[in-house]
Amino acid sequence: MKKFINVTLPKFGLFALFVKNPVSLVAIMPAVAVVPVIDIKSASVVLAWMFVADLLSGILASYFDWKKSAPKDKWFFGKGEGFSSDKFKKCFVKAIVYAGAPLMIHKFQVAFMIKNFRYESVSDAEIGISTLLVLVFCLNEGYSIFHENLPKCGINIFDLVKNILNLKKEIQNEAN
């Protein structure tokens, strides 16, 4: 019977060690290193706002292009070809890709247990593959807003920064 009890009941050896020597609890506790991970939900919110800004700036840029060559009796919406349904449909395709691709990549990374990346010269946090993809999409939206749409509206940020830097150089040269 004693042999049967020894086989069937757990020994709780670690618990017995803690009862006999409580100091061993401190010695056995592993150090847990907490590494911050960039949250994909926060990155997706930034992407969503940039998507809306790109949509609005794209409509505004389309309006300014249409205004330059539009006949007087045509409207911007409808058959005036300033704002077409084809451009609007492409907006939904882009939204589906922006929502679906990071989700698929995230599921792939979880399924195959792929580790997050860490590039310490840029950030102390780890970046998942799907979050990196969202970052690439944000860069694409930023390029679209600032390099494609706003210059068509008459606001060229790159030329403005370039002029400011040239002005700074001229002031430094005159001071010397």
Question: What is the predicted pLDDT for the residue at 31?
Answer: 54
Question: What is the predicted pLDDT for the residue at 50?
Answer: 97
Q: What is the mean pLDDT of residues 155-167?
A: 89
Q: Which of 18-27, 69-78, 85-94, 108-117 has the lowest mean pLDDT?
A: 18-27
Note the Cα 104 to chain centre separation in Å: 15
What's the burial of 98, exposed, middle or buried (CB within 10 Å: 0-12/13-18/19+)? buried
Q: Is the pLDDT of residue 28 over 60?
A: no
Question: What is the predicted pLDDT for the residue at 1?
Answer: 63
Number of CB atoms found within 10 A of residue 138's CB: 18
The reported pTM is 0.71
Question: What is the predicted pLDDT for the residue at 117?
Answer: 83
Largest CA distance in the chain: 102
